[in-house]
Amino acid sequence: MANRRDFLKTSLLGASASLLAWGGRLKAAAPAARPAAAVRVVSTWDFGIAANQAAWAILGKGGHALDAVEAGARVPEADLKNHSVGRAGYPDRDGHVTLDASIMDHNYNCGAVAAIEHIAHPISVARRVMERTPHVLLVGDGALQFALEQGFKKEELLTPESEQAWHAWLKTAKYQPSINSEVRDYDKAGRPGGANNHDTIGMLALDAHGKLAGACTTSGMAWKLHGRVGDSPIIGAGLYVDGEIGGATSTGVGEEVIRNAGSFLVVELMRQGRTPQEACKEAVMRIVKRRAEASKTLQVGFLAMNRDGEVGAYAIQRGFSYAVCDAHKQDALLPSPSVYTTNYS
Ligand code: SD4
């Protein structure tokens, strides 16, 4: 009997050990811890360097990707010299500064705000939408009301400099929305982009826990129609993250990105085995093929990172750049390959 009892005990222990092992295998489907070398954050454009560094202050200490991208995105949102993101963003045709932002984690949790006014950090409101509501996207007055209920401060975001630029535009008021991503040349140091390098910021981070997150924030096209919403707050267009595959984000003419569900497309192409750069290139080429003539003068750029921390980018026009930050180097800025390599202007 004793033997049978021992056998039963051993079998039960064995069974629970296999259950644990099975549970362990189930858990293994979730992102596994990454080697420190793969912990990384990437961002669009040159102002991504400062954003990455704020994100790295969190990531480098073993913090979470979601916290890192939120902290990073807040940097250009607060930058008064940046007229395409957050405070000091150029207004719409009627003089309103309206902001779009989205955030997404490794597990399909996401939140966004669109056409929100008077709130300096829409990325943080997007995170509250994700974490404190059953919704994904709040827009306009409703987004502002939610932000105020959450304790965000109502502020004037139109700076005298942006107002002056708007008044200058009003003199002709030609309705030709600027994409804030004109073809840019290389500066004297050979770095892509120049002093005027302003655009949407899209960020992707991979943390030491193997988790991915992304954020995207913008004031959209300068002088746009009041109420116009671009790709940045649309999950799947301006931003998409799949914790088991990778993430993607975009910049440029949002309408073109929305038509292709651009960031979702990039992630799906990575799922099918493309590298981040191949995936970005294919997503760009679909726009170019569809818009053969127009693509010569419009800009769209994609930036992607897979769950191994491999990074890639591609744009229609030359001049798109992206910042990469990891344990090796915190201020790298790389030129994106592009379809067209000569300036059209
Ligand atoms: C938008 N993609 O609103 C954003 C903004 C942008 O150059 O990137 N503008 O369409």
Atom number of ligand 1 nearest to Cα 229 = 3
Tokens 């993101």 map to which residue?
85
Separation of 29 CA from ligand 1 center, angstroms?
Answer: 35
Which domains, and CATH codes, for the chain?
40-335 (3.60.20.30)
Q: How far is CA 150 from CA 126, 127, 139, in A?
A: 11, 11, 15
* pLDDT computed for residue 318 by the predictor: 87
Average pLDDT over residues 330-340: 95
> With bands split at pLDDT 50, 70 and 90, how would you rate the model's confidence at 23?
very low
pLDDT, greater one: 200 or 306? 306
Query: What are 159-188's pLDDT values in tens digits?
Result: 999 999 899 989 987 766 544 444 444 444
Atom of ligand 1 nearest to the CA of 218: 5
For residue 218, the CA-to-ligand 1 centroid distance in Å is 7
Query: How far does residue 28's CA lie from ligand 1's centre (Å)?
Result: 37
Q: CB within 8 A of 172, min separation 6: which ones?
A: none
How many angstroms does the Cα of residue 221 sit away from the middle of ligand 1? Answer: 6
φ, ψ for residue 203, nearest 5 deg: -130, 145
Active site residues: 200
Determine the Cα–Cα distance for residues 209 and 193; give it in Å rounded to an integer: 33
Query: Which residue ranges have their beta carbon within 6 Å of ligand 1?
Result: 179-181, 199-200, 218, 220-221, 230-232, 251-254
Best residue among 45, 198, 203, 221 to mutate for probing ligand 1, ranked by most atoms within 8 Å of CB: 221
Average pLDDT, the chain: 86
Report the atom number in ligand 1 closest to the C-alpha of 100. Answer: 3
Give residue-wise pLDDT tens across range 96-155: 999 999 999 999 999 999 999 999 999 999 999 999 999 999 999 999 999 999 999 999
Strand order in the sheet with 137-139: 137-139, 110-117, 98-104, 212-218, 201-206, 40-44, 321-326, 332-335
